[in-house]
Amino acid sequence: MIEKLNISDATRPILSHGAARVISHHDADGITAAGIVCHALIRLGKRFQATIISQLDHGLAKRLNEERADGNNADADRMLTIFCDMGSGHPDVVSEVAGDVLVIDHHTPIDDLSCPHVNPHLVGIDGAFELSASGAAYAVAKGLNRANIDLCGLAIAGAIGDKQLMIGANRDILNDGVQNGIITVKKGIRIGDGDIADLLERNIEIYLDFTGDRAKVDVFLEKIGVSGRLSELSDPQLRKLATALTLKLLKRGSPDAIETIIGDVYLLHREVIRNVDDFVSALHACARLSETGLALSLCLRDQSGVSHAAQASVDYQRTLVKDMRLAEPGIMQKDHIKYLQLHDAEATGIIASTVTRFLHPDKPCIVLNESDDRIKISARGTKSLIARGLDLAEVLRVAAEAAGGRGGGHSIASGAAIPKADDAADTFLATADSLVGEQLRGN
């Protein structure tokens, strides 16, 4: 299915330019997308500079233009600017960037771009579930040289990082990996690898009544008779654990979470961290701890930072669990949404996802995070809500505009930013609640 993408739109400008400026988003999908593009450029002998950022705005366009105008930049005239995992929703910003530009993205496009644009939505592929930005970047790399097929593991990691499904175009990429010995698939529990008690205590990817409490974790495991390293559990022990976790998730009414936690585990034979869930966790941790250079180096297969990244991942997971426990009592609701209002919080997308996956799957969750001179917003839904008509990309776009900001993203996961005005948050929440109600009533 990835052959449906108009890859020649991307390969032509890459091949015709001597250098590239790669700009990508600071989550696992954006970082792996950048890694794939950088690998392809290295193999073509192209010079490049890569930067990982949190958002695309007019200030960035200005800085890029100033770089290009710098008389000391010998590559300026032949440099291609490549945006990964961003750009489709910001045609106004992209149009301000001087020189030739390429956008490789999977977010819902808003209006047309005046530059080459590779996006699954443009060819009828669902960019929320079936192909991530790293998957689109992989298609471009494979189009440049079929030898780049070894980069498929990075694409799968990006898709996993964005909670995508192994269907459609993602399934094509996974098949590339399996058929060429680059990826192995086995049945298991997708929370990384390590001592099972440690994993259950600190991993927010499975948020249950014992998460963050080692004593409760030990009681749970003792009751079912399971202990040891997850990857070394016998088949009977693995089945016991999977059954017990499934029952807990069912009691919480979290069917979507079961699908993402119990099932196929992906082992990446070409990457520096073999278990895909551990790899994704390390990328997220490095990005959130402002070590994006380290995160990108992992994707470029530099072994030297693995131990540091792995420890950062453990520490960050513990922090996330602690932050989630502190945030949980503050969950509020309107007629159709759950929401939280936080101050200078980290990983608001993960908090929103945890609320809607494990605590209140009947409603989407929106987290408003007041920081500096604006309010950053993250919203998450579930597949069940999407099936009923929820489209958070539209909700956040319209609600943010009503509050004097801007937003967008995917139907199941979206973000926005609004000014820190007196009534901005109230306006946003009221508009979002009304829109969600209209969407869910319509189906």
Domain boundary among 277, 296, 324: 324
CATH at 433? 3.10.310.40
Residue 400: the pLDDT is 96
Q: Are residues 23 and 134 in the same domain?
A: yes
Where does residue 426 rank: exposed (0-12), middle (13-18), buried (19+ CB within 10 A)?
Answer: exposed
Task: Say yes or no to pLDDT of 316 above 70.
Answer: yes
Alpha helices in 107-166 (DSSP H): 133-144, 152-161
Taking only the tens place, the pLDDT of each residue in 320-350 is: 999 999 999 999 999 999 999 999 887 899 9
Query: Is the Cβ–Cβ distance between 212 and 233 less than 8 Å?
Result: no
Q: Are residues 161 and 263 in the same domain?
A: no
Mean pLDDT of 89-117: 94
Distance CA 318, CA 204 (A): 8
Tell me, rounded to whole angstroms, the distance of Cα 392 from its chain centroid.
15
Residue 253: the pLDDT is 75
Q: Are residues 158 and 191 in the same domain?
A: no
Distance CA 35, CA 323 (A): 30
Domain boundary among 179, 206, 224: 179
Query: Is the Cβ–Cβ distance between 288 and 323 less than 8 Å?
Result: no
Q: Are residues 144 and 214 in the same domain?
A: no
CATH at 175? 3.90.1640.30
Residue 29: the pLDDT is 97
The two tokens of residue 57 are 């705005």
Q: Are residues 359 and 232 in the same domain?
A: no
Candidates 352, 353, 363, 349; CA nearest to 440 is: 363
Domain that holds residue 297: 187-324
Residue 68: the pLDDT is 85
Candidates 166, 186, 290; CA nearest to 242 is: 186
Question: What is the largest distance, in Å, between two alpha-carbon atoms of the chain?
Answer: 69
Domain boundary among 179, 202, 223: 179
Candidates 118, 150, 113, 114; CA nearest to 132 is: 118
Q: Are residues 335 and 397 in the same domain?
A: yes
Q: Are residues 391 and 426 in the same domain?
A: yes
Q: Are residues 171 and 202 in the same domain?
A: no
- In the structure, what pLDDT confidence band is assigned to residue 67 with cuts at 50, 70 and 90? confident
Query: Is the Cβ–Cβ distance between 134 and 113 less than 8 Å?
Result: no
pTM score > 0.95 for this model?
no
Residue 370's H or E segment, with its range, is strand 365-371
Q: Are residues 144 and 226 in the same domain?
A: no
Tell me the HSE value of 371 on the side-chain side, using a 13 A CA sphere: 12
Q: Are residues 11 and 154 in the same domain?
A: yes
Report the domain count for the chain: 3
Q: Are residues 298 and 335 in the same domain?
A: no
Residue 254: the pLDDT is 72
φ, ψ dihedrals at 376, nearest 5°: -95, 140
